[in-house]
């Protein structure tokens, strides 16, 4: 059997503590192998499979644990059992409900005289059995781990359809025992498909109806309601899990049609201290799809076995630091009738003005109203509302009452938005009809609140519990809930998805307030400043900064729809001195500057500060925007969803270093107390160097700041990889960006870590060569990508031409010649495309990974299509 060493296989006759009979168990055990290596195990992993698998499920963990011990790492004994009536253990011929299976496992460990520390690991219904053993053995227990499983099923909610069907009378025996349909269906859930030899190994113990009766017994034992004999035991286990304080690890495949995110959310509620990782794209057979074994052993090495009590992750928070909540400006200006928010992006045209008095009143009523319908501090509220005054009021209302705001914008697309919402598993969804329809169709969780009043039929169809108007009305007479504390969770903001599936970034109230304070101090923002923003995330910060904010007429989910006239109109309406745009927005603002009239230009001349963020901006684009706002100081701050403001540079600052030999885009020096270091790349393009401030070293950008995220939400492995904890300097974040520091400590961005070309001469970052190529009069934008094997990658330029080509393919000879003369990097080809693919939030981050695949296929002679 692939991956299964026969030396691990054991059998043991185990007495039944109730009946006095004895049954033979089959199990895998690494103790003998560890003894041969001369190592003493630090503890035992007790692994329990589900239905219809067997201990073969855990072979990778068994193998990895032996290799780790042989390499001198902490040695964990792994015991992986075949439950009775399953795998190669005895067929008992009697029904074994959940309580019996928990006792069976206890009989087995008693027969081994197993001592602690023990960490349990389960999958599927084996997870419940493992949890039952854990609850019953607190003296031995050092931790709990689980792949997809369930400890509780909510009343009134049908069990998953596949299990309902399999458990139906007349179908149960036919699908689970008489035939191998249930087994085969389960094995087909793996993505990619299992190797035939692996599939045969899973099937090996179940070659006849007699051998498959345990499969049917497991399905029949699923407690569908309180009348089922295993219902009480499941309730007991669920209650016991909620009392566990030992370290916990939950690894999850969100595409599981049986144990979906609903069950993960329940386990997180019961084990709030658990480390959680959702393997995006993985499903039920997560052990066959992802490196769960590496995750398990890494987690055990970090958590150790010396304590039976879990500790919260270190967030490097200075608890003595001053804290002013994000809504403090609303409290201070609650009697002010001046404009707080001006929305010029109203669908259908027109403007909407909201005063400080109106906004504060609405925020308070929403906060009190949400509390009155059962929303509690820490509950997650997914907000599917376009940017504007309504979204602002909802967000601040949620923050004011301690709910955690989940923000995933429509720019992620339906699939990305659905992944984000289901991954966060909110308690409440507030949205317009379109968002609520998606929630209904895609099975998103949560109480549903409609922003608009709906006809009775629509309300029932969308399963709406309340309208926002009803919430506000309830909040009119309801008391305001107690304010959250500084280090309570405040928000989960999703990344753009431009470098992989969008990730939820968790922030506390202290961190959001720190962001506000850094922004206000660095740019001198006060009550009279005013802010025009065409970049949705920062539109929400106006009320926190205590200054009026205006959103120009545009499609806020598509920054490239913003025009120069719309910016001028917003500046004129709000009398703002700061304009905040994304690079994609700037491109179109510059492109539409010819439509400006004298009044527009006069309005733009009153702007004192202009900012562009979302992606590094080159001198030419920043200079073009500066011409439209001649009295403004142009800035291009650098940041990311994980830390929204890190460094800053002005146009004059960029010009001052223009003659330098540095490659990339200069994004300036760290703001305030923010810190930036570089982790050098090795020949394989991996960031392995200790973070340093040495000038001129190409590497991954590593950052630290007071407003750095707490963690990635339910992505423990991702957070672990991206976080550096140092005893002297606190917590640092690996950004995934590559660049270098110059002699003055300024940061230069040269691309993303996955986009580095590993050439025979060493790692090559793309942005510097792209800048050389973009110096050509033939080129609007360029991307440098690699083709060929790792370590021997060859550079290819992919360009948008001026004028644009209508079809992708090889660039014209004169264009290719000009580009090759400009490039210091040898180019094996120059390809021209009508438009470079970009991310969907900023419309500015080029998708070089996609382009690389396309270029490889095109140059290999494949059919030429758009990238």
What's the pLDDT tens digit per position in 744-761?
Answer: 999 999 999 999 999 999
- 502 — pLDDT class (breaks 50, 70, 90): confident
The most confident of 40-44, 166-170, 348-352, 406-410, by mean pLDDT? 40-44
The pLDDT, as a whole number, for residue 726 is 66
Going from the C-alpha of 725 to that of each of 310, 315, 702, the distances in angstroms are 18, 9, 12
Q: Is the pLDDT of residue 530 over 70?
A: yes
> Nearest 5°: phi and psi at 416?
-65, -40
> In whole angstroms, what is the distance from residue 250 CA to residue 264 CA?
8
Cβ neighbour number for residue 462 with a 10 Å cutoff = 20
Q: Which residue has the tokens 């790692």?
A: 763
CATH node for 756-859:
3.30.300.30
**Where, residue-wise, is CATH 3.40.50.1820 in the chain?**
6-156+231-303
The pLDDT, as a whole number, for residue 400 is 96
Q: Is the pLDDT of residue 658 over 60?
A: yes
Q: Is the pLDDT of residue 326 over 80?
A: yes
Question: What percentage of the chain carries pLDDT values higher than 70?
Answer: 92
696, 697, 702, 705: CA torsion to nearest 10: -20
The pLDDT, as a whole number, for residue 555 is 80
> Nearest 5°: phi and psi at 106?
-65, -40
The pLDDT, as a whole number, for residue 227 is 86
The pLDDT, as a whole number, for residue 313 is 44
Going from the C-alpha of 607 to that of each of 591, 634, 859, the distances in angstroms are 19, 10, 48
Adjacency order of strands within the sheet including 428-431: 466-467, 447-450, 428-431, 380-384, 404-407, 489-494, 504-508, 711-712
Residues near 591 by Cβ (< 8 Å), separated by ≥ 6? none
What's the pLDDT tens digit per position in 196-205?
Answer: 999 999 999 9
- 226 — pLDDT class (breaks 50, 70, 90): confident
Q: Is the pLDDT of residue 240 over 80?
A: yes
Q: Average pLDDT in the 478-482 region?
A: 94
195: left (phi over 0), alpha (psi -120 to 50) or beta: beta
- 350 — pLDDT class (breaks 50, 70, 90): confident
Q: Average pLDDT in the 185-209 region?
A: 96
The most confident of 119-123, 388-392, 579-583, by mean pLDDT? 119-123
Q: Is the pLDDT of residue 499 over 70?
A: no
The pLDDT, as a whole number, for residue 59 is 98
Q: Average pLDDT in the 260-270 region?
A: 92
Cβ neighbour number for residue 347 with a 10 Å cutoff = 8
* Cβ contact 390:384 at 8 Å: no
What's the pLDDT tens digit per position in 370-386?
Answer: 999 999 999 999 998 88
Q: Average pLDDT in the 588-604 region?
A: 95
Range in 569-573, 669-673, 729-733 the model is least confident about: 729-733
Q: Average pLDDT in the 659-672 region?
A: 85
**Where, residue-wise, is CATH 3.40.50.980 in the chain?**
356-484, 524-636
CATH node for 6-156+231-303:
3.40.50.1820
Q: Is the pLDDT of residue 411 over 80?
A: no
> In whole angstroms, what is the distance from residue 537 CA to residue 641 CA?
9
**Where, residue-wise, is CATH 3.30.300.30 in the chain?**
756-859
The pLDDT, as a whole number, for residue 302 is 87
> Nearest 5°: phi and psi at 843?
55, 30
The pLDDT, as a whole number, for residue 163 is 61
What does pLDDT average to over the chain?
90
> In whole angstroms, what is the distance from residue 824 CA to residue 351 CA?
51
Q: Average pLDDT in the 102-106 region?
A: 97
Cβ neighbour number for residue 3 with a 10 Å cutoff = 13
- 619 — pLDDT class (breaks 50, 70, 90): confident
Look at the chain and count its residues: 867
What CATH number matches the domain at 641-707+714-753, 3.40.50.300, 2.30.38.10, 2.60.40.2550, 1.20.1090.10? 2.30.38.10
What's the pLDDT tens digit per position in 4-15?
Answer: 999 999 999 999
The pLDDT, as a whole number, for residue 288 is 97
Beta bridge partners of 734: 702
Instruction: Locate 21 and state its tokens.
Output: 């009979």
542, 546, 548, 553: CA torsion to nearest 10: 10
Instruction: Locate 400 and state its tokens.
Output: 């004011």
The pLDDT, as a whole number, for residue 753 is 93
What's the pLDDT tens digit per position in 27-70?
Answer: 999 999 999 999 999 999 999 999 999 999 999 999 999 999 99
Which CATH architecture group holds 524-636? Answer: 3-Layer(aba) Sandwich (3.40)
Q: Is the pLDDT of residue 484 over 70?
A: yes
> In whole angstroms, what is the distance from residue 586 CA to residue 567 CA?
10
The pLDDT, as a whole number, for residue 360 is 97
* Cβ contact 670:759 at 8 Å: no
Q: Average pLDDT in the 334-357 region?
A: 90
> Nearest 5°: phi and psi at 863?
-60, 130
Cβ neighbour number for residue 659 with a 10 Å cutoff = 7
The pLDDT, as a whole number, for residue 319 is 40
Going from the C-alpha of 348 to that of each of 388, 553, 555, the distances in angstroms are 14, 10, 11
The pLDDT, as a whole number, for residue 318 is 45
CATH fold label, 356-484:
Rossmann fold (3.40.50)
């Amino acid at each position: 059997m692939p991956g299964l060493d026969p030396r691990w296989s054991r059998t043991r006759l185990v007495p039944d503590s109730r009946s006095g009979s004895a049954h033979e168990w089959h199990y895998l055990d690494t103790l003998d192998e560890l003894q041969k290596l001369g190592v003493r195990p630090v503890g035992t992993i007790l692994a329990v499979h589900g239905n219809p698998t067997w201990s073969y499920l855990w072979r990778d963990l068994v193998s990895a644990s032996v290799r780790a011990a042989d390499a001198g790492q902490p040695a964990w004994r792994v015991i992986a059992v075949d439950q009775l009536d399953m795998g190669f253990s005895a067929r008992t011929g009697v029904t074994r409900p959940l309580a019996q299976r928990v006792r069976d496992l206890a009989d087995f460990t008693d027969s081994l005289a197993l001592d602690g520390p023990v960490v349990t690991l389960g999958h599927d219904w084996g997870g419940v059995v493992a949890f039952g053993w854990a609850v019953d053995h607190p003296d031995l227990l050092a931790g709990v781990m689980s792949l997809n499983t369930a400890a509780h099923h909510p009343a009134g909610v049908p069990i998953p359809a596949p299990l309902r069907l399999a458990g139906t009378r007349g179908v149960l025996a036919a699908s689970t025992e008489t035939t191998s349909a249930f087994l085969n269906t389960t094995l087909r859930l793996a993505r990619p498909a299992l190797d035939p030899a692996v599939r045969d190994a899973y099937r090996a113990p179940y070659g006849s109806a007699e051998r498959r009766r345990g499969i049917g017994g497991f399905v029949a034992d699923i407690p569908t309601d309180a009348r089922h004999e295993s219902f009480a035991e499941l309730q007991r286990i669920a209650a016991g899990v909620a009392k566990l304080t030992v370290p916990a690890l939950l690894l999850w495949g969100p595409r599981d049609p049986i144990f979906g995110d609903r069950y993960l959310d329940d386990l997180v509620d019961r084990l709030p201290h658990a480390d959680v990782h959702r393997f995006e794209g993985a499903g039920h057979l997560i052990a066959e799809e992802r490196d769960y074994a590496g995750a398990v052993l890494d987690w055990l090495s970090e958590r150790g076995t010396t304590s039976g009590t879990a500790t919260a992750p270190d967030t490097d928070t200075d608890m003595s630091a001053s804290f002013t909540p994000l809504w403090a400006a609303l409290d201070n200006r609650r009697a002010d009738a001046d404009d707080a928010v001006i929305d010029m992006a109203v669908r259908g045209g027109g403007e909407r003005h909201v005063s400080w008095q109106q906004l504060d009143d609405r925020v308070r009523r929403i906060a009190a109203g949400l509390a009155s319908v059962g929303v509690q501090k820490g509950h997650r509220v997914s907000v599917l509302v376009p940017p504007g005054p309504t979204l602002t009021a909802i967000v601040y209302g949620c923050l004011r009452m301690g709910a955690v705001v989940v923000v995933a914008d429509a720019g992620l697309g339906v699939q990305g938005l659905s992944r984000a919402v289901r991954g966060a598993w909110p308690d409440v969804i507030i949205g317009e009809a379109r968002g609520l329809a998606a929630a209904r169709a895609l099975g998103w969780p949560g109480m549903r609140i409609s922003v608009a009043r709906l006809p009775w039929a629509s309300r029932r169809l969308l399963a709406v519990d309340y309208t926002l108007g009803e919430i506000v009305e309830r909040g009119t007479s309801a008391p305001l809930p107690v304010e959250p504390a500084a280090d309570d969770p405040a928000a989960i903001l999703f990344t753009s998805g431009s470098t992989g599936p969008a990730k939820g970034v968790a922030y506390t109230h202290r961190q959001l307030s720190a962001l506000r304070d850094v922004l206000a101090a660095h740019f001198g923002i006060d009550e009279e400043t005013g802010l025009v923003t065409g970049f949705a995330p920062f539109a929400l910060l106006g009320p926190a900064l205590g200054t009026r904010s205006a959103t120009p007429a545009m499609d806020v989910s598509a920054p490239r729809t913003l025009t120069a006239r719309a910016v001028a109109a917003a500046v004129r309406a709000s009398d703002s001195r700061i304009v905040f745009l994304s690079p994609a927005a700037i491109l179109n603002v510059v492109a539409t500057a010819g439509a400006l009239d004298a009044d527009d230009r006069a309005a733009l001349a009153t702007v004192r500060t202009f900012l562009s963020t979302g992606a590094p901006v080159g001198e030419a684009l920043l200079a073009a925007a500066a011409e439209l706002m001649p009295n403004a100081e142009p800035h291009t701050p650098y940041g990311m969803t994980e830390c929204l403001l890190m460094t800053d540079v002005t146009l004059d600052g960029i010009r001052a270093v223009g003659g330098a030999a540095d490659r990339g885009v200069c994004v300036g020096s760290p703001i305030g107390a923010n810190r930036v270091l570089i982790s050098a790349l090795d020949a394989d393009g991996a960031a392995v160097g200790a973070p340093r401030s040495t000038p001129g070293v190409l590497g991954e950008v590593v950052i630290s700041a007071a407003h750095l995220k707490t963690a990635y939400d339910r992505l423990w492995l991702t957070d672990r990889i991206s976080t550096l904890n140092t005893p002297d300097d606190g917590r640092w974040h690996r950004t995934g960006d590559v660049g270098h520091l110059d002699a003055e400590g300024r940061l230069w961005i040269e691309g993303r870590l996955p986009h580095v070309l590993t050439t025979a001469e060493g790692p090559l970052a793309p942005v510097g060569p792209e800048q050389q190529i973009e110096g050509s009069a033939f080129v609007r934008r360029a991307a440098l990508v690699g083709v060929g094997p790792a370590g021997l990658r060859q550079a290819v330029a992919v360009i948008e031409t001026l004028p644009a080509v209508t079809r992708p393919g090889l660039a014209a000879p004169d264009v290719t010649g000009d580009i090759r003369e400009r490039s210091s990097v040898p180019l094996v080809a120059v390809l021209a495309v009508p438009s470079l693919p970009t991310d969907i939030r900023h419309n500015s981050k080029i998708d070089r990974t996609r382009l690389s695949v396309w270029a490889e296929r095109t140059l290999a002679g494949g059919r030429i299509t758009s990238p």
